[in-house]
Amino acid sequence: MNSLSPRAAVGLFLIVVLAWGVNWSVTKQLVEFVSPLWTAAIRSWIALVGLVVILGLSKNLVIPERRDIPVILSVALLHMTLFSILVAAGLRFLPASKGVVLGYTTPLWVALAAPILGQGTLTAPMLAGALLGLFGLAVILNPFSIDWTNAGVLLGAGMVILAAISWAANIIYIRAHRWIASPLQLLLWQVLVATVVLSTLAMIIDGLPQVDWSWRLVSLFLYSGLIGTVLAYWAMSMVNKSISALTTSLGTTATPLVGIASAAILLGEPIDASLAIAAGLIVSGIGLATLGDRLLRGQATARG
Q: How many CA atoms lie within 13 A of 277 on its CB side?
A: 14
29: nearest Cα among 231, 223, 253:
223
Q: Which pLDDT score, from 0 to 100, does residue 236 have?
A: 83
Q: Which pLDDT score, from 0 to 100, does residue 36 have?
A: 96
Q: Which pLDDT score, from 0 to 100, does residue 120 have?
A: 66
The model's pLDDT over 82-92, given as tens digits with 9 standing for 90+, comes to: 999 999 999 99
- In the predicted model, residues of the chain with pLDDT beneath 70 are 1-4, 118-120, 244-246, 293-304
Q: Which pLDDT score, from 0 to 100, does residue 11 have?
A: 87
Q: Which pLDDT score, from 0 to 100, does residue 19 have?
A: 95
In angstroms, the CA 32 to CA 131 distance is 35
Q: Which amino acid is residue 23, in one-letter code?
A: N
Instruction: Please provide residue 105's backbone torsions phi and psi, each rounded to the nearest 5 degrees.
Output: -80, 0
Q: Which pLDDT score, from 0 to 100, does residue 293 have?
A: 65
